[in-house]
């Protein structure tokens, strides 16, 4: 430990002082320049005194990182050096005369130790022993560790500084270049040294050392890796980063879109990759809203996301009938039951987004999106161009969705061309976009919201992790306000709308027919009605009545699937030919059209099946009554 000579003047950061008195931890001194007395604690003195050599700080934990052999060699050598210094050796029962500091000189003890080590694995020259003895006196046994044996990385201070600086300049210049090899970096470093120092340029270390330096100084820079990633990293601002933490749910909600690494089947078309848009709360990592599109997202989709986030599932229109149809059309996927879904929806937190962080896309910066956010007093922040770090949470969430959800679905194509399977677009078990949408809905409620997250930690016990639902519940107990969600009618008012003619068969939208018994009172009085629709649920639309209320109109087309002829045109386990497929499609279109129009079906192909006799049917006198009660007019509604 460093000591002060109190008989000599003490030099502090503001001048010279003379020692007067030491009492407990306080020292009293007098300034040589002014003659004033100063009393300070030794802790303050240690920070203000100048001219003292810093005490060597040895980290004994370094020895534990060595291999067993290196630990044994280092500790054995330290015992020998301690015997030279103090005459004591823990491996010897009593002090030896040739190493007694009272009767021998240091040189005599060194010569005796060299003779002793001559027959061991620690044999070394006198110069080596003297350098190790000097290091041992300064920093103890940790100074004897061979740097090559450390588990850590090579220290840059052991290499030539000029070579390292030239190598760093070369690495920085590779940001916009095509990817090369380590050999090219070595060649460019040699040229850079010649350019800077000319004939006085230092020689490069060995190739092995250069490879080690390149590995150290290109780590996480992708200098010899992906050029795309290297350019993305180069766009980062050159400044220290601070971790951005939100503790209040809704204080920051990030919104972004990305194409999924998934192919979905499209009717009469080539399989396509859908685009997923999500809203995620930073504080709780809860997914508040989502949408799937087969085409580019539009501003109407983002307004729908805001409506989703502000409306609990219980206040949204019932989708059970739509989910049943999706399950029927996609038998390879399994959706949650209606009771399980309702139970999980009760535990999903309601988070009011106060700040929306979005990018600069046209769909995000559109007037309807901004007006919808403004109407609900949401502040919109646009992220800087080419700065994905401003939306790091939602960007990372897309990767999580790919690994935890997308890759487990039929039609997964991998994250790149080199990871893509063979003939994925020809698979027969591809899902449609509605099935993917409903499966994602189930995954969010059942898996993600109840999964412990690495970033949702107990501040006092970092090993305790919380799920998004648990984090939202804990945060809700600490807030002093209650945000009231939207009602069902308010949610319907936010859905996209269009004006459609009201006819005797109902309303026609997107090549579907919708009707409701409540519409009958407006036939003949209203020529058209404003129709609100959900782009992700074609099972129903909502007509706005003159008094402002909404009338739910269910789809009529799906009733055709209850027809006894519908199953005759469904594909079976036998692979049909292309001609048979076209014939079945025409027959199905003709059947559905005739059923909806109430006209007889002409030239209907007769299925190949044995003729049934009257005795083959069960006698049920109530069939006619039930049919009349279901449809008094005799037409399918």
In the predicted model, is pLDDT for residue 155 greater than 70?
no
Amino acid 610: pLDDT: 47
| Domain assignment present for 489 | no
The string of DSSP letters for 234-280 reads HTS-SS--------STTS-EEEEEEE-SB-B--TTS--B--EEEEEE
Domain membership of residue 55 (yes or no) is no
Least confident of 304-318, 467-481, 613-627: 613-627
Predicted pLDDT at 438: 94
In a domain, 239, yes or no: no
Residue with the bigger pLDDT between 363 and 5: it is 5
Shared domain for 322 and 425, answered yes or no, is yes
241: in domain: no
The CA distances from residue 52 to 9, 19, 30, 139, 154, in Å, are 13, 16, 20, 16, 30
In angstroms, rounded to a whole number, what is the distance separating the alpha carbons of residues 593 and 581? 18
The verdict on 349 and 396 lying in the same domain is: yes
pLDDT of 286: 95
User: How many domains does the chain fold into?
Assistant: 6
Give just the sign of the alpha carbon dihedral 571, 574, 575, 578: negative
Decide if pLDDT at 405 tops 90: yes
Is 379 in the same domain as 412?
Answer: yes
In a domain, 74, yes or no: yes
Answer yes or no: are the C-beta atoms of 502 and 529 closer than 8 Å: yes
Q: What is the rounded average pLDDT for all residues in the chain?
A: 81
Distance CA 601, CA 565 (A): 11
Is position 435 within any domain?
yes
Give the model's pLDDT for residue 325: 87
Stretch 531-551: mean pLDDT, rounded?
90
The answer to the question of residue 65 being in a domain is yes
Of residues 289 and 65, the one with the higher pLDDT is: 289
| pLDDT for the residue numbered 255 | 92
pLDDT tens by residue, 13-45? 889 999 999 988 899 999 999 999 999 999 998
Confidence category of residue 479, pLDDT binned at 50, 70, 90: confident
Question: What's the pLDDT score for residue 606?
Answer: 43
439 and 539 belong to one structural domain? no
Domain identity same for 393 and 408? yes
**pLDDT for position 632:** 36
Rg, Å, the chain Cα set = 40
The residue-averaged pLDDT of 227-231 equals 86
pLDDT above 80: residue 486: yes
Residues 316 and 398 in one domain: yes
Q: Does any domain span residue 56?
A: no
pLDDT at residue 127 is higher than 50: yes
Provide the whole-model pTM: 0.66
> Do 39 and 129 reside in the same domain of the chain?
no
Last residue of a domain, one of 555, 585, 601: 555
If pLDDT is split at 50, 70 and 90, which confidence band does 545 have? very high
Percent of the chain with pLDDT over 90: 37
| Same domain assignment for residues 505 and 608 | no
In a shared domain, residues 186 and 279 = no
pLDDT digits (tens, 9 = 90+) for 42-95: 999 888 988 776 665 556 667 777 788 888 888 888 889 989 988 888 888 788
Distance (Å, whole) CA 586 – CA 188: 69
Q: What is the pLDDT confidence band of residue 362, given thresholds at 50, 70 and 90?
A: confident
Q: What is the mean pLDDT of residues 470-478?
A: 86
Same-domain status, 297 and 332: yes
- Residue-range definition of the domain harbouring residue 565: 561-630
Q: Are residues 335 and 470 in the same domain?
A: yes
Q: What is the pLDDT of residues 294-341, one digit of tens each?
A: 877 666 678 889 999 999 999 999 888 889 889 988 888 899 999 999
| CATH code of the domain covering residue 398 | 3.30.420.10
Q: Which of 503, 524, 555 is the last residue of a domain?
A: 555
Residue 582 and residue 575: Cα distance in Å, rounded? 13
Question: Are 272 and 405 in a shared domain?
Answer: yes
Share of the chain above pLDDT 70, in %: 82
Given 444, 478, 512, the domain boundary residue is: 478
pLDDT above 90 (res 263): yes
């Amino acid at each position: 430990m460093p000591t002060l000579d109190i008989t000599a003047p003490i030099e502090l950061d503001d001048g010279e002082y003379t020692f007067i008195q030491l009492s407990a931890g306080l020292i009293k001194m007098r300034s040589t320049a002014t003659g004033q007395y100063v009393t300070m604690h030794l802790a303050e003195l240690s920070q203000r005194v100048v001219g003292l050599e810093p005490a060597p700080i040895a980290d004994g934990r370094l020895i534990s990182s060595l291999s067993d052999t290196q630990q044994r060699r280092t500790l054995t050598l330290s015992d020998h050096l301690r015997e030279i210094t103090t005459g004591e050796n823990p491996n010897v029962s009593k002090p030896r005369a040739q190493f007694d500091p009272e009767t021998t000189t240091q040189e005599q003890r060194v010569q005796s130790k060299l003779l002793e080590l001559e027959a061991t694995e620690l044999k070394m020259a006198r110069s080596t022993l003297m350098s190790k003895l000097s290091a041992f006196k300064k920093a103890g046994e940790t100074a004897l560790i061979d740097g090559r044996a450390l588990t850590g990385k090579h220290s840059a201070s052991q290499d030539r500084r000029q070579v390292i600086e030239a190598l760093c300049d070369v690495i920085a210049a590779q940001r916009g270049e095509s990817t090369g090899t380590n050999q090219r970096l070595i060649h460019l470093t040699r040229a850079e040294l010649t350019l800077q120092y000319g004939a006085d340029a230092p020689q490069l270390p060995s190739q092995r050392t250069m490879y080690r330096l390149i590995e150290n100084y290109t780590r996480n820079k992708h200098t010899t890796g992906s050029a795309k990633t290297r350019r993305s990293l180069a766009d980062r601002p050159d400044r220290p980063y601070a971790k951005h933490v939100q503790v209040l749910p809704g204080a920051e909600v990030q919104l972004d879109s990305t194409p999924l690494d998934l192919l979905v089947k499209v009717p009469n078309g080539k399989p396509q990759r859908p685009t997923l848009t999500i809203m995620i709360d930073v504080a709780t990592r809860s997914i508040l809203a989502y949408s799937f599109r087969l085409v580019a997202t539009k501003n109407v989709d983002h307004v729908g996301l805001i409506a989703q986030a502000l409306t609990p599932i219980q206040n949204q229109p019932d989708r059970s009938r739509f989910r049943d149809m999706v399950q029927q059309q996609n038998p390879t996927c399994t959706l949650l039951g209606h009771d399980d879904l309702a139970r999980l929806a009760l535990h999903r937190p309601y988070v009011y987004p106060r700040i929306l962080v979005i990018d600069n896309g046209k769909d995000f910066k559109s007037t309807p999106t901004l007006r919808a956010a403004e109407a609900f007093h949401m502040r919109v922040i646009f992220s800087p161009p080419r700065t994905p770090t401003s939306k790091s949470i939602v960007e990372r969430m897309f990767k999580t969705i790919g690994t935890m959800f997308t890759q487990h679905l039929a039609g997964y194509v991998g994250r790149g061309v080199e990871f893509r399977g063979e003939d994925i677009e020809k698979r027969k078990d591809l899902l449609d976009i509605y099935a993917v949408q409903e499966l994602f809905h189930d995954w969010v409620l059942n898996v993600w919201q109840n999964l412990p997250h690495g970033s949702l930690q107990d501040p006092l016990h970092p090993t305790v992790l919380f799920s998004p639902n648990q984090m939202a519940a804990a945060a809700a107990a600490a807030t002093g306000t209650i945000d009231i969600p939207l009602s069902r009618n308010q949610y319907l008012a936010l859905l996209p709308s269009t004006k459609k003619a009201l006819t005797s068969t109902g309303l026609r939208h997107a090549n579907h027919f919708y009707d409701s018994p409540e519409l009958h009172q407006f036939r003949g009085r209203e020529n058209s009605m404003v129709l609100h629709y959900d782009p992700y649920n074609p099972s129903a639309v909502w007509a706005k009545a003159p008094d402002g209320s909404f009338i739910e109109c269910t789809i009529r087309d799906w009733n055709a699937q209850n027809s006894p002829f519908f199953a005759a045109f469904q594909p079976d386990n036998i692979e049909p030919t292309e001609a048979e497929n076209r014939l079945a499609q025409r027959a199905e279109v003709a059947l559905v059209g005739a059923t909806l129009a109430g006209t007889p079906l002409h030239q209907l192909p007769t299925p190949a099946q044995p003729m049934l006799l009257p005795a083959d049917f069960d006698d049920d006198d109530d069939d006619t009554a039930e049919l009349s009660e279901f449809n008094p007019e005799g037409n399918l509604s």
